[in-house]
Structure formats: structure tokens, C-alpha cells
Structure 1
Amino acid sequence: MSVHALLIPNVTWPELLAHARRLEELGVTTVWVDDHLLNPAHPGRSWLGAWSVLPALAAATSRIRLGPLVANGVLHPPAVLARHALSVDHISGGRLELGLGSGYAKADLAAGQATEFDTVVSTVDKALRGEPVVDGFPPLAPAGRIPLTIAAHGRRALETAARYGDRWVSYGGFGLDEPTHLARTRRRIAVVDEIRPVRKMLLAGSPAVTAAPIWSSVQAATDFTGRYREAGIDEFTFYYPPSAMWSSPKADEVFEDFVSRQ
């Protein structure tokens, strides 16, 4: 089972880098970085931009895959987003995983451009396949195929994810009890599989989106992932460090023990 980790860039650069290097030591598959204009939970507090952080992480690591989870299609014009992706992929030696989403934070929606999500995805997809996307200019010339991970919840977005994505990702929803969360996940998986089966990933580990206390023990984490794997989830991304979400130093120890067993 693939385990990934999401870094929330609301800390200093030395802290964020230390987290990424520790995750590389642990052997997680991908280090993702959250992409917003401002800290969505606390807009007045510190926040580092994902597309500034990612090339720095690419230069400071050697094995782990990297990417935004998810690059906000509201904030970035598709051609510019594709150029960011190609640059980070080059700096990292082909280790980029590109996550795309439509955004939900109020500050992002207020500052961004109202571009249809399927237009963002299809334009980025064309650019990453070496097709021209800006009139009068040559294609962006990718060195190789960059995997696309597409976040989606509604029917139309799920269809876009299935049509263009290598992987679909969801956090399920905010403030849901686990039976409701799991039932919604099953329904969305069914929509994706109806169109084109792709890899399916769940973002979990924050109390805001995960009612179950998964980091209370390795067994609790194993039970949680087992329920969602049975529903059709292939991969998991967990917020890191979990102790920042659960206010428990033990959560980090449980996470590391859990990852070591995968």
C-alpha cells in the first residue's frame, strides 16, 4: 500500500525542509504541499507558496516524489501552471506528481480567475503532452509524462478526473461521521470506475476530515485504512506531522511505526 504525506506550509522553511527530509528517510511515496494564496484556516498567519517551496524541496531531496495537493486551478492560469510543473519536474529529475483541483478557500476564490475546471485540466494535460496551448508560441516540451492526480467530488469533476487523471483524490468532506464519509467515498469511487478506473487516493489524518482517531495506535490506523481499502481506495495521504493536528506527540510515533510496516 502506498503511503504519502501532505505538508501544510504554515511553518518556517527550515521546519518544512526538516519534515520533508524525515519523510524521505521514512520512505513515504510522495511529499505533497498544500497550495493556497493564504493560510485557509488562519488567513493572517504564516503561509509559504507551494510553487516556491516545491523547487526548493526538489533541490534538497533526492528520492522522494513531490507535488502540490492540489495545485489550485483558480489561482494559476493553465499554461503558467504547466510551466511550473515542467520546471519542478526538471529540477527534481522527474520526480513530480502534479495534483490539480478547483479550490475551495474564500481567499483563493476572491483572488483567482474563474476558469472552468475541466478547461484547466484539459489545457494542462495538453501542455504536458507537448501540444501547443498558447497561440503563436511553441509547445512547452515536456521531458516525459508527468502523472496527474485530480481532486474531485461532484459528478462533473469526477468525470474529468476519470477522463484525464492517473489518480483521483478526495478528502471526503469536512465534519462528517465515518459512516457518512465512507458512504460518500464509495459513491464517488463508483462514478469514477463507471467512466475509467484510475488509482484512488484518500487524504486523511486531520480531525476536520477524519472522525476516527487513527493515530491512537498502529492497529487503529490499520483498521482505518483497511475499511477504505475494502471500499476501493488504493493509496493514502496523511497530514504531516500528525502531532500538529492531534496535539499528541504519540501521533508522530504511531505514524512512523505504521509507515515502517507498509
Structure 2
Amino acid sequence: MPDYGHDLLFGTVLVPSAGHADDTVTLARLADSSGLDLVSVPDHPYRPELLDAWMALAVIAASTTRVRVFPNVANLPLRPPALLARTAAGLDLLSGGRVELGLGAGAYWDAISADGGPRRDPGAAVRATREAIEIVRALWRGGPPVRVGGAHYRLDGAAPGPAPAHPIGIWVGAIGPRMLELVGAAADGWLPSVPHVPPGRLEAGHRRVDEAAIAAGRRPAAVRRLYNLSPGPGGFPRGAPDAWPEQLAALALEHGTSAFLLPARQPALIRTFAAEVAPATRELVAAARGRAADPDGPPSDPGGVADGAAASAGPVVAGSRTATLAPRAHRTGSGERLSVRPTPDPGVRRSTERLWDESTRPAGPTADPERRHPRHEQEPARNLVAAHDQLRADLDRLGGLVREVLADTLDPGEARSEIQKLSLRQNIWTLGAHCASYCRVTALHHTREDQDLFPFLRRSDPRLGAVLDRLAEEHHAIQGVIERIDRELVALARGGTCGEGLRAAVDLLTDTLLSHLSYEERELIEPMARFGTGW
């Protein structure tokens, strides 16, 4: 598929939790100040534990100065198109032209029906979305009263307006072939998500969009290609954030994807995405586009991505351009300075309870700042961070399950069943099993899971002993909090508690786990690069 030449956009998907309403605005401000281009929120009007999407977007727009905001994606069955058109245009005027319209045909039909919305089969959903796009555009255009005689939406002389401050893009979340044809014929953007449309399926989707656009007399480049990311094992992009630029650049060059939305609840990840991933991706794409525009220029490094971060995470995207990506600027000779960085502690504490005194944590020996490591030496540390990112994602999932339980939208028994599936619940905080779990999560060294990392590091540098002892103590303390959450769920299911104990236990786990993971990365990244794992 072609590179459509669009400017690259980077943004985030924030979940507007009613239980932690301020967090969404705080993260949106961070995205704005960090230089991201887009902030979006999901729209599930039938979920009471979430704030109304448009209410959240209005506050975000009022609290920021430059980011564009949009629903990811607006739930059409519960939001009539005339109301959508006027809401989006009004917020666009109030924000100085910083609103886009993500639009979805609907999915969770039981919940939509329970809230009084229609239940549509796939064909009806496509037809309703087509009518809605026609209505929205007609109301934004102005002119005479609008009359639309659709099967699902009818306007009989509706007054148009208000006109938005800028041409709002209509970005449709679509999966099926008929919806993709509608995107090509009538929308301004296609917004798939990694879990529903993984990278290997993008080419077929883009081709259908392009063919529909041409059939409708439009240029395929008139449709921007966006992507809701889902990092972590089994998702995309793969590996640690420093491996993402090559993967995202490959999507831009191979498939024309030009906007990347990252779901994030940790400030550190938003900062990294804005300050490191976005600039590096833009640099790679600009260099490749420059070479394409100047075929007589110097040849690209044939090694390209092959010795880069993306190679360690597996194949990026099949295609001929992958190998033309320029190597990252920091690569030098046989080694480079350690580029793996610990994830900072967010520094925010939800609980008044403390499991330990952080000021008493021992530190390991000071690392040599001039030491260089070949990329293969840095892989164990990079895998450690990737495994920790999975635990952080599990923590987010656990928090969401508990909020659903407290909102009485999920049975405590079902929540317990889901929590049992999470990596952080699989007895990983026991010394030795914890270390082996790193391998299970990252699918590396799985044949040597019976080997312990900590004893190896202790033998390699006895000065790490105090740090390793402290980490082991914290592992056991955190396991106790996880078991406490399970007990609170049981008590809630039996009607013996109002849920405050469960909320307090989750807050304590959030504080302790994020603090611990940051400490462990800070102390072990350099020794793991220096000594390896012993496997």
C-alpha cells in the first residue's frame, strides 16, 4: 500500500473514569504540554463508571491549549447525528478549531438496547452510519433547511448550523467490508484498533478503502489512516518504547498510517511517547521520504532495521520498505551507551497506608556512565521493562474490573475469575517464580525458567546483595496486597462489606506496585546489561 504523504500525528486515548475524574484532565494537560497532537476518550454512554465522553472532551479542551480532541469513537446509536453535528461544531468553536469527530456504528448492542437505543444488524448499522454522515455534513455546510429522508434518520427542514471553526474530520471506526467501503466513499479517516485489526490485516483494509474511494471519484489520500495502538505481549507495537519508532515508521511507509493513538494511564509513558517515540518516528519517515524523493542520493544502510530495536521485537511489517529505514542515530561501532531507561515512579499516592519506607531502600554500586553495550547486551534489561509494562497494564485492567464491581456493573465472582488470568496474580511475587515470569511474559528463555536471576546477579556482583534482599521483601509484601484484594472481593460477594476495603486495597496495590517496579528497573537495568541473566 502507498505512503499517502500525510503529516504524522501522535496522541493518546484516556479513559474518563468517574471514580478518578481529575486523572483524565491531568493526563490530557500532560499530553498537551508534552507536544502530542491528539487526545481522545472512548464513548460508552451505557457505562455509568465512565464520564460522558463529550463532557470530558469539553473540560479537556478548556484545560488545554493546542491538542485536538475527539471521541474514540462516538456511539452513533445513542447519539442522534443532528445532535452530534451541533455538539462537535459548538465545541470546535469554543476550543478554537480543535475538535474532530470519531464515529462508530455501535457494537455492544445489549447495552445499547438497555439504554433505549436501537438494535441493528450489520447491514442496518452501515446504512444508518451513511445517513448520519450525510446529515452531519449537511448541518455543518449551512444553506437552506436540511431534509433527509433516510430509513434510520430523518430531518424535515432542520435549520443548519452552527458551522464549525475549521473543517472537522469524520474518522470512522470500522472493521467489516461494507463499513470500509463507506469509509472510502464518504469519511475523512479510517480509525481501526490493534485488537480488532492487527498490522497483518491493515493492507486488506486499506485496499478496500482505496477502491471505494476511487469508485466514488475521490483520491485515496483524501482518507487519513489512523491507528489505536495496543502495546504489550500479543499487541502492537512490540517491545519497549525505544523499539516502537521503527515499527510505527514502517506502518507509515508501508501502509500510509499517519496517526497513532496510545492508550496510557501513566504520565511517564505519555512523556516518553511524546518526547522520544514521536520525534524518532518522524525522523525515520522524513528520511525515507527524502530518499524516495531523491533517488540519486546516497544509498540507505542495507542493515537498516535489521540491527535495530524493532528486530529484537520480531518482524515489523512485511514489505520491501522495512529494510530502507535509516539506523537510529545513537548506534555506534560495536556498542552504544545504555539506552534502556527505568520508568519513573509517578509520585502520586492514592493510599495513606504504607507497606515500607521508601527512604530506606538500598542502592547498588554506581554504574560507569561511559561503558558501552552492544544491543544484544541490552536486551535482558529491555525485556525486564517490557515485562513490567505488562504488569502495569494488568494493574490498569484490575483497577477497571474493581471499578465495574463497585459500580455494580460486574459481579464480584466474574471479577475474581478475570483477575485470576492476570500475570500479576500468577504467584509471580515469589522469589524465583517472579524472575521466571519475566521469561513467560516476554516469551524469551522459556526453557530455563527454573533458573533464578537474583542468585546469578548476587554471584556476579556481591555488592547487589542488599538491593536484591530488599526487592525480595517487596515481592512478598505486594503478593499479600493481591491476596487482600481477593479476600475483599469474596466479602463483597457475600454482602459483608460496602466496597471501601476493596477500593483501599486497590489503591494500596497501585501505589506499591508502581513504586516497586520503578525501583527494580532503576537498580537492575544496568547490572542486567553488564552481566546478563545467567540463562
Give the TM-score band, short-chain normalised.
0.7 to 0.9
Q: 1:195 and 1:87, CA in 2 relative to 1: closer, same or farther beyond 3 A?
A: same
Q: 1:108 and 1:206, CA in 2 relative to 1: closer, same or farther beyond 3 A?
A: farther
What's the secondary structure of 1:99's corresponding residue? strand
Q: Offset of 1:14 from its aligned partner?
A: 1.4
Asked whether 1:231 is paired with 2:255, we answer yes
Give the corresponding residue for 1:126: 138
Give the corresponding residue for 2:190: 168
Structure 1 residues 204-215: aligned runs within 5 Å = 204-205=229-230, 207=232, 211-212=235-236, 214=238
Give the corresponding residue for 2:86: 83
Q: Offset of 1:157 from its aligned partner?
A: 0.9
Distance 2:261 2:84 in 1: 22
Distance 1:102 1:96 in 2: 20
Structure number having the greater strand percentage: 1
Give the corresponding residue for 2:9: 2
Distance 2:228 2:191 in 1: 7
Distance 1:83 1:239 in 2: 27
Give the corresponding residue for 2:341: none
For structure 2, list consecutive stretches of 5 or more residues without a partner in the other structure: 1-7, 148-154, 214-219, 283-535
Moved more, 72-81 or 230-239: 230-239
Q: Give the count of matched residue pairs.
A: 244
Structure 1 residues 91-106: aligned runs within 5 Å = 91-105=94-108, 106=110
Q: 1:16 and 1:150, CA in 2 relative to 1: closer, same or farther beyond 3 A?
A: same
Instruction: Kindly provide the CA deviation profile for residues 194-243 of structure 1, in whole angstroms up to 9, marking residues without a partner as x.
Output: 122111011112559x624646231x2123313422233122111123x4
Moved more, 252-261 or 54-63: 252-261
Give the corresponding residue for 1:246: none
Give the corresponding residue for 2:212: 195
Structure number having the greater helix percentage: 2
Q: Offset of 1:38 from its aligned partner?
A: 3.7
Structure 1 residues 240-255: aligned runs within 5 Å = 240-241=264-265, 243=266, 251-252=269-270, 254-255=272-273
Distance 1:190 1:156 in 2: 13
Q: 1:146 and 1:253, CA in 2 relative to 1: closer, same or farther beyond 3 A?
A: closer
CA contact (8 A) 1:186 1:232 kept: no
Q: Offset of 1:86 from its aligned partner?
A: 1.3
CA contact (8 A) 1:74 1:109 kept: no
TM-score by length of 1: 0.83
Give the corresponding residue for 2:201: 184
Instruction: Kindly provide the CA deviation profile for residues 35-83 of structure 1, in whole angstroms up to 9, marking residues without a partner as x.
Output: 11244xxxxx721110111112222222111111111111101111111
Q: 1:259 aligns with which of 278, 300, 324?
A: 278
Q: Max radius of gyration: which structure?
A: 2
What's the secondary structure of 2:87's corresponding residue? helix
What's the secondary structure of 1:74's corresponding residue? helix
Structure 1 residues 132-151: aligned runs within 5 Å = 132-133=146-147, 134-143=155-164, 144-151=166-173
